[in-house]
Amino acid sequence: MTEDEWEPKILVFCCNWCSYAGADLAGVARLQMPTHFRVLRVMCSGRFKPEYAFKAMEQGIDGVFVLGCHIGDCHYLEGNHRAKKRFEVLEDMMVHLGVEPGRIKIDWVSASEGVRFQAVITEFVAHIKELGPSPLGGGR
């Protein structure tokens, strides 16, 4: 595949209670957005661990996006707190490693925010397109 043909592959972790419903709402409302992402539903953003980001990027994923309920709205009370704290450490790791920390992102989308889902996804995909293929692909 040549440089021109490259299209990003993005993995989006959506929590079952807010963000997945938000994504669903965006779909039902026929909101247009890029199609470079695959959604992986998890019960809570707290289910996300940095290990998944490493594994995904090793296997050729160019960007990892984690979406959960807004802070204070977590169905499990504090799952998104955990996700947020883990993410901060993960970002620091990316910096020390020399990989653009912008390849990973965490944000909050509630079940009623279909429009917001469209907006954050569009923005993230555009950012990853700008960054180009992940240097971690292939994992060596």
Based on the shown chain and the rule CB under 8 A, indicate whether residue 71 belongs to the binding site for other proteins: yes
Among 14, 42, 44, 57, binds other proteins (CB under 8 A): 57
Which sign does the torsion angle of CA 74, 127, 123, 125 carry?
negative
Stretch that binds other proteins, among 15-23, 33-41, 46-54, 113-121 (CB under 8 A): 46-54
Q: Does 29 bind other proteins (CB under 8 A)?
A: no
Candidates 14-22, 25-33, 34-42, 90-98; binding stretch for other proteins (CB under 8 A): 90-98
The three-state secondary structure class of 13 is strand
Interface contacts to other proteins, rule CB under 8 A: 50-51, 54-55, 57-58, 71, 77-78, 81-82, 84-86, 88-90, 92-93, 95-99, 135-136, 139-140
